[in-house]
Amino acid sequence: MEQVWILPAIPFATFLVLGLFNRFIPRRGDGLAVLGMAAVVVLVGVVLADFQNFFVDGIFTPGGEHAYAEEWVDIGQGFFLIEFSTYVDSVTMVMLPVVSFVALMVLVYSIGYMKGEQRYGWYFAALSLFVSAMLLLVISGNLLQLYLAWEGVGLASYLLIGFYWERQAAAEAAKKAFITTRIGDVGLLIGIILLWRVTGSFDIQEIIHAAQEGVFDQTYLTVAMIFLFAGAAGKSAQFPFHVWLPDAMEGPTPVSALIHAATMVVAGVYLVARMLPVYDEVLIARDVVLYTGLLTALMAATMGLVATDIKRVLAFSTVSQLGFMFVALGVGALTAAMFHLFTHAFFKSLLFLGSGSVIHATDEQEVQELGGLRKKMPVTTITFTIGSLALAGLPFLAGFWSKDEILHDLQKHGPMWAYVVLAATAALTAIYTTRVVLLTFFGKPKNQQAYDRAHESPPIMTVPLMILAALAIVAGFVTYTGVGEALGFVGGIGEVVYLPAEGAHRFELDWAFAAGASATAVAGVVIGVAYWWGDAKRAAAARNWAPELHQLFARRYYIDELYQAVINNVVMGASRVVAWFDKKVVNETGVDGATQFIGFLGYRLKFLQTGRIPNYALGMALGVAALAVVAIGTT
């Protein structure tokens, strides 16, 4: 457990080797990357086994070894302490398997997907870098290290979104992603510094204890936590930072599967989950989390309803589901949020990889050009459908359990209207996923060339799909105590992952509630089928009935235009003023003016050098006379 830092070290080593030497390794090192990842998965299992030892009588009692710290820079005897520290607890234990396993699946899949691409070796190097940074992030014990890993993840995301940088759109998207998350990151840094100012430490556990002891002033802490959440919102694409995720689909599809579905975007969720005990102290900040998540979930669901690119739909869906997770965190339900994160990782990456399979086969991303692919690509169709039904929340699939848990907790702890909105969003989720499935795989093919090109993907791509589909079905059952015990845990997920304040709780199925949730999901599917089956006549009619609404959703609420206008006017305007100041005042007056003045002085004074001796003699005599006057004056 102490050596848990090996986990990020392995992919980082892979990154270095592949980044520098991929030309010289056979097959450009993809095997090396997969091998490294597999090693990490195995090691995660080891850590997991070790983790079980910390459960005494069913209660998680952390011993000394789960936290490890090593000092790096110490300024002022602990005034400013940078250390490398790790902290492993149940939240970490949810993230580690998710990250490593999904990464392994994606890496194997990429071998097939990225075959023949130039910069093949660099792709694997960048992915390894990303995994390394993400692992570092989840095991971080102090906020500074977390911030470092945060930025590292952002960097890897930038590199990978802009993988096809010859395409202008891809370069722009990478820039947009980085800049948007950067703005959030500034908030995160401010939050970290604010927290440090009061407690003098970056260590997360220390900060939590300090907050619980009431060291902070209430307003101060609220502000700090809101800033922290700004960083989380940036990374997790919540409103108003959600604009980068849809555009990030310019990157290769496996990248989207790994980074923008399962791992990086949940870094924000992870951060808030980690700091949840502190958020519990300042309920205003927690409410901010709740409502932001709610708003984002609804907005993204509406935008996903009208998007025409498969990957974009999935991107909006991711944003929406992240909103769900934040809603859960917003009511203090750590278990529900982490559970949803767990299940969502599997079925969302499954969906992305499935769409990648479609794209690889048909070279088309637009749903308008696809259709009727189920005959030609059966495995993909089946796995994709399983994934989308899980997303919709159909009973007994993985998504059902976690979403149900969230709705349940929201109904118990949150305002009623929020529950209604979230339930409606869940219904919308079901509708748009059904739409995508129908338009892509069912019905008649709309573009005959695309249809002709379609073929089932090679096993190296379909095997991960099948594994993930299996997980999408069964992953939800870990909520049951029996299943948990069978796996070697103390109990179901509710008994492993919980807030100390909450206490462990067994999972009890509230049949009435579950029935209601299932009904919503099924209703959503039915509506989707009704509108989009066949020729989708009803959908077209609906579109024509409210074209402005459709336009609003399709143009993503015009937020992109708003941001651009702000940048053009405010930022550029301000920079124009500053540039004018720099040019006119500093440069022309200050710098040039000084030199010109000296030159002018020189030009005028040079006439003193007449070269004539009488003039110089006069000068000397004047000097002597002055000295004499002074001497007389002073005596």
Partner 1 sequence: MIERLPLPAQFDRLIMVGGTAAVLVMAPILVVLLALLIGDEISAAELVFWLAFTVIVAGALGTVLLSNIVHAALALIATLLGVAAIYLLLATEFIALVQILVYGGGVVILIIFGLMLTNAQADPVVTDGSQKPFAAIVGVLLGGIFIAAAIDAEWGAEAATVVPFRDFGARLFKDFIVPVIIVGVLLDIALSGGIVNARAPRDDDASETEEGAAS
Partner 2 sequence: MIPLENFLILSAILFATGLYGVLARRSAILILMSVELMLAAVSINFIAFASYLDGDAFSGLIFALFVITVAAAEVGLALGIVLRLFRERQTAYVDSADSMKW
Residues near partner 2 (CB under 8 A) are: 606-607, 609-614, 617-618, 621
From 500, 240, 478, 137, select the one nearest 340 (Cα to Cα).
478
Determine the Cα–Cα distance for residues 125 and 117; give it in Å rounded to an integer: 14
Identity at 139, one-letter amino acid code:
I
Question: Of partner 2, partner 1, none, which one sits near residue 609, judging by CB under 5 to 8 A according to partner kind?
Answer: partner 2
**The binder of partner 1 chosen from 515, 541, 570, 629 (CB under 8 A):** 629
Question: Of partner 1, partner 2, none, which one sits near residue 545, judging by CB under 5 to 8 A according to partner kind?
Answer: none
Alpha helices for 363-415 (secondary structure H): 378-392, 398-413
- Percentages helix, strand, coil for the chain, rounded to the nearest 5? 75, 5, 20
Nearer to partner 2, 49 or 617 (CB): 617
Question: Of partner 1, partner 2, none, which one sits near residue 570, judging by CB under 5 to 8 A according to partner kind?
Answer: none
Q: What are phi and psi of 502, to 5 degrees?
A: -75, -45
From 482, 322, 321, select the one nearest 388 (Cα to Cα).
321
Question: Of partner 1, partner 2, none, which one sits near residue 632, judging by CB under 5 to 8 A according to partner kind?
Answer: partner 1
Question: Of partner 2, partner 1, none, which one sits near residue 629, judging by CB under 5 to 8 A according to partner kind?
Answer: partner 1
Are 297 and 327 in contact, with CB atoms under 8 Å apart? Answer: yes
Stretch that binds partner 1, among 433-441, 497-505, 599-607, 623-631 (CB under 8 A): 623-631
Question: Of partner 2, partner 1, none, which one sits near residue 416, judging by CB under 5 to 8 A according to partner kind?
Answer: none
End-to-end CA distance of the chain: 89
Would you count residue 624 as binding partner 1 (CB under 8 A)?
Answer: yes
DSSP, residue by residue, 418-469 = HHHHHHHHHHHHHHHHHHHHHHHHSS--S-HHHHHH--PPPHHHHHHHHHHH
For 532-538, which contacts have Cβ atoms below 8 Å and span 24 or more sequence positions? 532/434, 532/435, 532/438, 532/439, 533/438, 533/442, 533/443, 534/443, 535/443, 536/438, 536/439, 536/443
Ranges of beta strands (E only) in 88-212 are none
Nearer to partner 1, 420 or 630 (CB): 630
Angle at 297 between CA 292 and CA 300, to 5 degrees: 115
Smallest gap from residue 587 Cβ to partner 1 (A): 41
Nearer to partner 1, 75 or 605 (CB): 605
Determine the Cα–Cα distance for residues 25 and 120; give it in Å rounded to an integer: 12
Pick out residues in 575-614 that bind partner 1 (CB under 8 A): 614
Would you count residue 628 as binding partner 1 (CB under 8 A)?
Answer: yes
Ranges of beta strands (E only) in 76-182 are 80-87
Smallest gap from residue 605 Cβ to partner 1 (A): 17
Helix (H) or strand (E) holding 110: helix 90-113
Smallest gap from residue 179 Cβ to partner 2 (A): 58
Tokens linked to 493:
């997920």
Question: Of partner 1, partner 2, none, which one sits near residue 611, judging by CB under 5 to 8 A according to partner kind?
Answer: partner 2
Are 268 and 154 in contact, with CB atoms under 8 Å apart? Answer: no
How many residues touch partner 1 under the rule CB under 8 A: the total is 10
Would you count residue 568 as binding partner 1 (CB under 8 A)?
Answer: no
Tokens linked to 353:
């990889």
Smallest gap from residue 613 Cβ to partner 2 (A): 5
Nearer to partner 1, 512 or 632 (CB): 632
**The binder of partner 1 chosen from 35, 196, 621, 634 (CB under 8 A):** 621
Would you count residue 615 as binding partner 1 (CB under 8 A)?
Answer: yes
Question: Of partner 1, partner 2, none, which one sits near residue 116, judging by CB under 5 to 8 A according to partner kind?
Answer: none
- SS3 (DSSP) at 595: helix
Question: Of partner 2, partner 1, none, which one sits near residue 607, judging by CB under 5 to 8 A according to partner kind?
Answer: partner 2
Question: Of partner 1, partner 2, none, which one sits near residue 574, judging by CB under 5 to 8 A according to partner kind?
Answer: none
Would you count residue 625 as binding partner 1 (CB under 8 A)?
Answer: yes
- SS3 (DSSP) at 237: coil
Nearer to partner 1, 75 or 632 (CB): 632
Smallest gap from residue 600 Cβ to partner 1 (A): 23
Nearer to partner 1, 547 or 619 (CB): 619
Would you count residue 618 as binding partner 1 (CB under 8 A)?
Answer: yes
Smallest gap from residue 619 Cβ to partner 2 (A): 10
Nearer to partner 1, 23 or 612 (CB): 612
Determine the Cα–Cα distance for residues 454 and 450; give it in Å rounded to an integer: 6
Determine the Cα–Cα distance for residues 609 and 197; give it in Å rounded to an integer: 64
Are 434 and 525 in contact, with CB atoms under 8 Å apart? Answer: yes
Smallest gap from residue 624 Cβ to partner 1 (A): 7
Tokens 């390394």 belong to which residue? 132
* 59-60/80-87 β-pairing: unpaired
Identity at 360, one-letter amino acid code:
H
Question: Of partner 2, partner 1, none, which one sits near residue 75, judging by CB under 5 to 8 A according to partner kind?
Answer: none
Of how many residues is the chain composed? 635
Smallest gap from residue 617 Cβ to partner 1 (A): 9
Smallest gap from residue 614 Cβ to partner 2 (A): 6
- SS3 (DSSP) at 318: helix
Question: Of partner 2, partner 1, none, which one sits near residue 606, judging by CB under 5 to 8 A according to partner kind?
Answer: partner 2
Smallest gap from residue 578 Cβ to partner 1 (A): 52
Tokens linked to 457:
């993907």
Nearer to partner 1, 501 or 621 (CB): 621
Smallest gap from residue 608 Cβ to partner 2 (A): 8
Q: What are phi and psi of 82, to 5 degrees?
A: -105, 120
Question: Of partner 2, partner 1, none, which one sits near residue 628, judging by CB under 5 to 8 A according to partner kind?
Answer: partner 1
Would you count residue 632 as binding partner 1 (CB under 8 A)?
Answer: yes
Stretch that binds partner 1, among 331-339, 394-402, 443-451, 620-628 (CB under 8 A): 620-628
Determine the Cα–Cα distance for residues 273 and 288; give it in Å rounded to an integer: 14
Smallest gap from residue 599 Cβ to partner 1 (A): 26
Smallest gap from residue 601 Cβ to partner 1 (A): 22
CA distances from 182 to 14, 150, 179 (A): 27, 10, 5
Nearer to partner 2, 571 or 628 (CB): 628
CA distances from 593 to 117, 200, 254, 580, 603 (A): 57, 47, 59, 16, 15
Pick out residues in 528-547 that bind partner 1 (CB under 8 A): none
Pick out residues in 377-436 that bind partner 1 (CB under 8 A): none
Tokens linked to 502:
């909450």
Are 37 and 100 in contact, with CB atoms under 8 Å apart? Answer: yes
Stretch that binds partner 1, among 35-43, 194-202, 362-370, 616-624 (CB under 8 A): 616-624
Q: Which residues bind partner 1 (CB under 8 A)?
A: 614-615, 618, 621-622, 624-625, 628-629, 632
